[in-house]
């Protein structure tokens, strides 16, 4: 027995009713024949007695639940809507393309937002991962992320707030010992770095987290990219000795292709080799590792399980307070030294969150304008369909049913637009991906997944309801007699309809204005930025980056002191100057290139100027060392 | 209706009465729609004629309410036909409606008693 009548059973149950009625009529006819009527007469009489089977069937079906009825009507409405749309191919095509454009753009941007902002970083318990940044809040309007010293790192390790903490140090090195010399991005990390992130190599092992070597342990983990590029994906690479600048490293592991270090800059994410460093021994001098002045650019840490970032921040603040009292010389109160914990996801996304959300808002506006356009088209069409709607109402079509049917029509239209948008998105995926700057973190995670598809679906449903509402409500208030009387007369719709159309145009104009002014501001800012005086003339200036070897063993260092570096520097400048076409040449530390990407600026100095004050605060400047020719060379104007 | 039926014998059934009559007819065992019509007609001495347009919606409604269940049998003409059967729920509902009807008929009988008897 079936008490519940599921909608998909309805066809079968309708057949059951038809069978039942047929049997009823046959039995009635048979009884009449038995009573002596002629067979053909009996059958006709039985039919007459039964009544109209179609009608009986319909009122019997009305006894079935409302859910089924609702679905049946929906299917009817959708079928009718498709018929109506097919009858107006021009209107349908234009509307679908308009909606497809809006939904396609919105969904495309959403797929980027989804991959970068909505999904946690691809590490186990990513919510425990933080980046630790040191600030001098009191100087020069607040100097942020100035770097960390080895003693501070040790203090944090002992604090019991973190499971692991790993400082990081970036270098560019020459790698030899593979097929051909390579320029590689090298990242020096604490031995617990990979254990902290919870990532496993695809080949070999990573560093032993318990390794306590103060300097480099001369093991290297390499990226999948370098492994394929320089070693042809050969698995015998494990155990191979390679030269990184002047030092020998043994390769112990290869990271999987999907692994990227969680860093905000493209350069840092393109790291090729990792080496384990204790940050407290050679090649760093003893003075530099016991000093409480920034030595390396911050650290990444994993919080103890169950500790929220806010709780951890409170405990770190308390620790900072103690340290400030303990070392007043290193942390003068006017510098207002603080340690800030930043969720690793925010650190990786950097300044990208706002532009992405801004972009999403912009494409949603575009979708809104598209909706307004289609709503206007629909209203114009409703005017020409006025007679049809009036006739249907005169014949007994319920107003609510008509409204629902018109809404269904616009939602079908919008759903078709969504389908076209997704089809376009999937077929132009590679093209679209190429438009995304590859500086976007987690670029590889951008996909059209179920979340993106459901977003597109919901967006098209909402869009359909939005642009279908006005025409549908107008149909509900249709004046049947007036429309029917206006036979043959051209009409631009009721006064009310005209008013709605004007309102929609106004809304559309307002949306466009917002978009236009935002775009205008953006273009203006860009133009201003292009024309901003840089303070130097970048024309005909070439930058060559190089550095003297800095071997792990200080005894092997050919240039241990500035005095030892001097002959090399002078000779280098003399020879470059002699090259044809060279006008002037200058040397400087890494941070000396103006407006350079600061990603690997470990040579930048933060200088607190004694006695100098600005707005009552100490002045804090960043600086780098240059030779006297530097300002002539880049034609600085000030 | 068949031409044999006298026109005066038809009584419009009150809403709710039909359900009771159908349940009452099914007391004797499972029966198909046509059988129910015949049963009601013969047991009411040709007075009550149930229209198919009332019967079949009522059967669907009773099934939905769980008072009757369906099974498939074969008609006298060898056709697959739906048989209706009282469920336990239907039986208890029938008992409840029966006592209600008995009260009502008694009350009606009292109201319709000849005035002479009243005056006595």
pLDDT per residue over A477-505, tens digit each? 767 777 776 655 545 556 777 787 788 88
Closest by Cβ to A51, choosing from B53, B75, B77 = B53
The A residues from 44 to 83 touching B (CB cutoff 8 Å) are: 45, 49-52, 55-57, 59-65
**pLDDT band at residue A597 using 50, 70 and 90 as cut-offs:** low
Query: Which token pair is A272?
Result: 């090729």
List the single residue in B with minimal CA-CA distance to A24.
B34
> Three-class SS of residue A126?
helix
A457 to chain B, any CB pair closer than 8 A? The answer is: no
> Tens-of-pLDDT digits for all 120 residues of chain B?
444 444 333 445 565 788 888 998 898 889 999 999 988 888 888 888 888 888 898 898 888 888 999 888 887 788 888 899 999 999 999 998 888 888 888 888 888 887 655 444
The confidence band for A164, taking pLDDT boundaries of 50, 70 and 90, is very high
| E strand residue ranges, A194-336 | 203-204, 216-222, 241-244, 247-254, 273-277, 299-303
Distance from CA of A38 to the nearest CA of B (A): 15
A80: three-class secondary structure by DSSP: helix
- Answer yes or no: do B69 and A1 touch at CB < 8 A: yes
B-chain CB neighbours of A23 within 8 Å are: 32, 34, 75, 77, 79-81
Cβ neighbours of B57 in A, within 8 Å: 56, 59-60, 62-63
By the CB < 8 Å criterion, does A305 face chain B? no
Taking the C-alpha atoms of residue B106 and residue B104, their distance in angstroms, rounded to an integer, is: 5
What is d(CA A42, CA A31) in angstroms, rounded to the nearest whole number? 9
Contacts of A56 in chain B (CB under 8 A): 52-53, 56-57
**Residue A48: C-alpha distances to residues A42, A217, B10, B57 (Å):** 10, 101, 17, 19
Q: What 3-state DSSP class applies to A163?
A: strand
Model confidence over A264-322: pLDDT tens digits? Answer: 887 788 899 999 998 888 788 888 888 888 888 889 999 999 899 999 999 999 999 99
Task: List CB contacts of A300: < 8 A, sequence separation 6 or more.
Answer: A129, A130, A131, A132, A165, A166, A168, A193, A196, A197, A262, A344
State residue A315's pLDDT score: 94
Distance CA A3, CA B63 (A): 6
CA atoms within 13 A on the CB side of A494: 19
Return residues 1-30 of B near A (CB < 8 Å). Answer: 1-2
Measured between beta carbons, the chain A residues lying within 8 angstroms of B80 are: 19, 23
pLDDT value of position B97: 87
**A28 contacts chain B (CB < 8 A):** yes
What confidence tens digit (pLDDT) does each residue in A80-129 have?
A: 889 888 888 888 999 999 999 999 889 988 988 888 888 888 899 999 99
Q: Please give the residue of chain A at the shortest CA–CA distance from B56.
A: A60
CA of A604: how far to CAs of A231, A594, B119, in Å? 35, 12, 123
Phi, psi of A38 (to 5 degrees): -70, 140
User: What is the dihedral sign for C-alpha B97, B99, B104, B108?
Assistant: positive
Residues of B in Cβ contact (< 8 Å) with A20: 32-33, 56, 81-82
pLDDT for position B3 = 41
Which residues does chain A have within 8 Å of residue B88's beta carbon, measured at their own beta carbons?
none
CA nearest A417: which of A101, A125, A193?
A101
- On the 0-12 / 13-18 / 19+ scale of CB atoms within 10 A, A487 is exposed
DSSP result, A226-239: HHHHHHTT-GGGTT
Pick from A445, A135, A435: nearest CA to A262: A445
What's chain B's length in residues? 120
Name residue A143's beta-bridge partners.
A136
Nearest to B76 among A30, A45, A64 (CB): A30
Cβ separation B75–A26 shorter than 8 A:
yes
Strands A273-277 and A182-189: parallel
Q: Is A102 helix (H, G, I), strand (E, B) or coil?
A: helix
The predicted pLDDT at position A67 comes to 59
pLDDT in tens, A72-91: 778 888 888 898 888 888 88
How far apart, in Å, do the first and last CA atoms of chain A sit?
Answer: 93
Q: Taking Cα atoms as reference points, which of A199, A209, A202, A205 lies closest to residue A220?
A: A205
The pLDDT tens digits for A410-465 are 889 999 999 999 898 888 877 777 777 766 777 767 777 888 888 888 988 888 88
- List CB contacts (< 8 A) between B51 and chain A: 51
Answer yes or no: is pLDDT of A616 > 70.
Answer: no
- In this complex, the residue of A17, A59, A63 whose CB is nearest that of residue B53 is A59
SS3 content of chain B, % helix, strand, coil (to 5): 60, 15, 30
Among the partner residues B53, B66, B75, nearest to A56 by beta-carbon distance? B53
CB contact under 8 A, B64 and A16: no
Q: Looking at residue A189, what is its pLDDT?
A: 93
| pLDDT of the residue at A1 | 38
Say how many CB pairs under 8 Å bridge A and B. 78
Average pLDDT over residues A236-248: 88
Strands A216-222, A273-277: pairing is: antiparallel
Peptide bond into A410 cis (omega under 30): no
CA R_g for chain B? 17
Residue A613, strand partner residues? A618
Q: Phi then psi for A69, rounded to 5 degrees?
A: -60, -45
The beta strands (E) that lie in A484-549 are given as: none
Contact A27 B71 (CB under 8 A): no
Mean pLDDT, chain A, whole residue set? 83
Tell me the backbone φ, ψ of residue B51, rounded to 5 degrees: -75, 145
Beta bridge partners of A339: A134
Contact B52 A56 (CB under 8 A): yes
d(C-alpha A581, C-alpha A562), whole Å? 30
Q: What is the pLDDT of residue A311?
A: 93
Chain B: residue whose CA lies nearest to A32: B2
Contact yes or no for B56 and A49 at CB 8 A: no
d(CA A344, CA A162): 14
Residue in chain B closest to A14 (alpha carbons) equals: B60
**Which residue of A3, A22, A24, A45 is the best one to mutate when testing the B interface, meaning the one whose CB has the most B CBs within 10 A?**
A24
DSSP characters over A338-388: EEEEEEHHHHHHGGGHHHHHHHHHHHHHHHHHHHHHHHHHHHHHHHHTHHH
Closest CA–CA distance from residue A11 to any residue of chain B (Å) = 15
- This model of the complex carries an ipTM of 0.82
Q: Percent of chain A scored above 90 by pLDDT?
A: 19
Residues 33-92 of B with CB under 8 A from A: 33-34, 38, 51-53, 56-57, 59-61, 63-64, 66, 69-71, 75-77, 79-82
CB atoms B81 and A20 under 8 Å: yes
Name which of A24, A2, A18, A4 is nearest A57 in CA terms: A18
Question: Looking at the predicted structure, is the pLDDT value of residue A342 above 90?
Answer: yes
**Which among B52, B54, B76, B88 is the top mutation candidate for probing chain A, defined by the most A β-carbons within 10 Å of its own β-carbon?**
B52
By the 8 A CB rule, do A346 and A117 touch? no
CA–CA distance, A60 with B52 (Å, rounded to integer): 10
Structure tokens at A218: 């001369």
Whether A453 and chain B come into contact, CB under 8 Å, resolves to: no
Task: Residue A64: list chain B partners with CB under 8 A.
Answer: 60, 64
B2·A65 Cβ contact <8 A: no
Phi-psi label, residue A608: left if phi above 0, alpha if psi -120 to 50, beta otherwise: beta
More confident position, A2 or A22: A22
Q: What pLDDT, on the 0 to 100 scale, is given for residue B1?
A: 40
Partners of A340 in the β-ladder: A133
A60–B69 CB contact, under 8 Å: no
Please report the pLDDT score of residue A187 as a whole number: 92
Q: Which of A17, A63, A64, A66 is the best residue to mutate to test the B interface, defined by the most B CB atoms within 10 Å of its own CB?
A: A63
| A239 vs A245: CA distance, rounded Å | 18
Measured between CA atoms, how close is B100 to chain A, in angstroms? 25
Record the tokens describing residue A577, joined without a space: 């100057």
Contact B34 A61 (CB under 8 A): no
Separation in Å, CA of B62 to nearest CA in chain A: 9
Query: Which candidate, A372, A376, A380, places its Cα nearest to that of A493?
Result: A380
Determine how β-strand A129-136 pairs with β-strand A299-303.
Answer: antiparallel
Please state which of the ranges A229-238, A331-340, A568-577 shows the lowest mean pLDDT. A331-340
Give the residue ranges of DSSP H helices in A278-352: 286-290, 309-326, 344-349
For chain B, how long is the longest CA-to-CA vector?
A: 61
Per the rule left: phi > 0, alpha: psi between -120 and 50, beta: everything else, A616 is: left
Contacts B1 to A, Cβ<8 Å: 49
Residue of A26, A49, A59 with shortest CB distance to B77: A26
pLDDT tens figures, A10-58: 677 788 888 888 889 989 999 899 888 888 899 999 998 888 888 888 7
Q: Residue A70 has which token pair?
A: 């609702």
What is the tens place of the pLDDT at every residue in A363-399? 888 888 888 888 888 887 777 777 777 777 777 667 7
């Amino acid at each position: 027995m079936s008490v519940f009548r599921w909608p998909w059973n309805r066809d079968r149950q309708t057949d059951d009713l038809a069978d039942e009625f047929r049997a009823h009529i046959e039995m009635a006819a048979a009884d009449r024949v038995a009573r002596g009527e002629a067979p053909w007469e009996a059958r006709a009489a039985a039919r007459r007695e039964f009544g109209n089977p179609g009608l009986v069937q319909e009122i019997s079906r009305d006894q079935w639940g409302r859910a089924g009825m609702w679905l049946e009507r929906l299917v009817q409405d959708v079928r009718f809507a498709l018929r109506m749309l097919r009858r107006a191919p021009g209107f349908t095509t234009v509307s679908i393309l308009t909606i497809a454009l809006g939904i396609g753009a919105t969904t495309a941007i959403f797929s980027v937002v989804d991959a970068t902002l909505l999904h946690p970083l691809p590490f186990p318990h990513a919510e425990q991962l933080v980046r630790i940044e040191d600030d001098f809040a009191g100087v020069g309007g607040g100097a942020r992320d100035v770097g960390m010293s080895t003693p501070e790192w040790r203090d944090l390790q002992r604090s019991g707030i973190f499971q692991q903490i790993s400082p990081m140090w970036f270098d560019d090195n020459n790698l030899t010992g593979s097929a051909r010399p390579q320029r590689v991005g090298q990242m020096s990390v604490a031995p617990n770095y990979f254990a902290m992130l919870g990532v496993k190599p695809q080949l070999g092992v990573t560093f032993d987290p318990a390794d306590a070597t103060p300097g480099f342990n001369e093991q290297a983990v390499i990226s999948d990219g370098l492994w394929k590029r320089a070693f042809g994906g050969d698995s015998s690479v494990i155990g191979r000795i390679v030269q990184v600048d002047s030092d020998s490293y043994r390769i112990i592991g290869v990271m999987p292709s999907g692994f990227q270090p969680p860093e905000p800059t493209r350069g840092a994410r393109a790291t090729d080799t990792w080496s384990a460093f204790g940050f407290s021994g050679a090649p760093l001098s003893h003075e530099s590792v016991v000093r409480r002045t920034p030595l390396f650019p911050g650290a990444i840490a994993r919080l103890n399980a169950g500790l929220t970032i806010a709780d951890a921040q409170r405990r770190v603040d308390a620790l900072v307070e103690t340290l400030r009292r303990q070392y007043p010389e290193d942390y003068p109160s006017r510098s207002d030294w603080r340690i800030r914990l930043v969720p690793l996801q925010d650190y990786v996304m950097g300044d990208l969150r706002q532009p992405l959300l801004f972009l999403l808002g912009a494409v949603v506006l575009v979708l809104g304008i598209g909706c307004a356009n289609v709503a206007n088209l629909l209203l114009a069409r409703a005017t020409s369909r006025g007679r049809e709607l009036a006739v249907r109402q005169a014949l007994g079509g319920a107003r609510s049913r008509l409204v629902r049917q018109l809404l269904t029509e616009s939602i079908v239209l919008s759903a078709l637009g969504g389908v076209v948008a997704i089809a376009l998105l999937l077929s132009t995926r590679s093209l679209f991906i190429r438009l995304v700057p590859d500086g976007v973190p987690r670029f590889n995670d951008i996909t059209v997944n179920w979340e993106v598809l459901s977003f597109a679906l919901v967006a098209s449903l909402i869009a359909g309801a939005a642009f279908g509402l006005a025409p549908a409500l107008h149909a509900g208030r249709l004046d049947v007699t007036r429309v029917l009387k206006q036979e043959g007369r051209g009409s631009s719709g009721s006064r009310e309809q005209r008013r709605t159309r004007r309102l929609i145009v106004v809304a559309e104009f307002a949306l466009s204005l917002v978009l236009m002014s935002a775009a205008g501001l953006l273009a203006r800012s860009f133009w201003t930025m292009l024309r901003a005086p840089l303070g130097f003339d970048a024309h005909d200036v070439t930058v060559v980056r190089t550095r003297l070897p800095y071997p792990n063993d200080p005894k092997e260092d050919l240039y241990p002191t500035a005095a030892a570096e001097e002959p090399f520097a002078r000779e280098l400048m003399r020879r470059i100057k002699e090259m044809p076409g060279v006008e002037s040449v200058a040397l400087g530390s890494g941070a000396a290139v103006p407006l350079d990407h600061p990603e690997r600026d470990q040579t930048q100095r933060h200088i607190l100027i004694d006695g100098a004050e600005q707005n009552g605060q100490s002045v804090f400047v960043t600086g780098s060392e240059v030779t006297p020719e530097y300002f002539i060379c880049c034609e600085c104007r000030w | 209706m068949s031409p044999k039926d006298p026109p005066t014998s038809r009584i419009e059934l009150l809403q709710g009465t039909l359900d009771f009559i159908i349940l009452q007819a099914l007391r004797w065992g499972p029966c198909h729609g046509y059988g129910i019509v015949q049963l009601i007609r013969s047991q009411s001495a040709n007075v009550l004629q149930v229209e198919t347009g009332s019967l079949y919606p009522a059967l669907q409604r009773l099934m939905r309410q769980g008072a009757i269940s369906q099974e498939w049998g074969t008609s006298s003409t060898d056709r697959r036909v739906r048989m209706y059967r009282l469920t336990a729920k239907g039986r208890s509902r029938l008992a409840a409606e029966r006592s209600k009807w008995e009260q009502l008929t008694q009350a009606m009988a009292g109201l319709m008693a000849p005035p002479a008897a009243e005056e006595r």
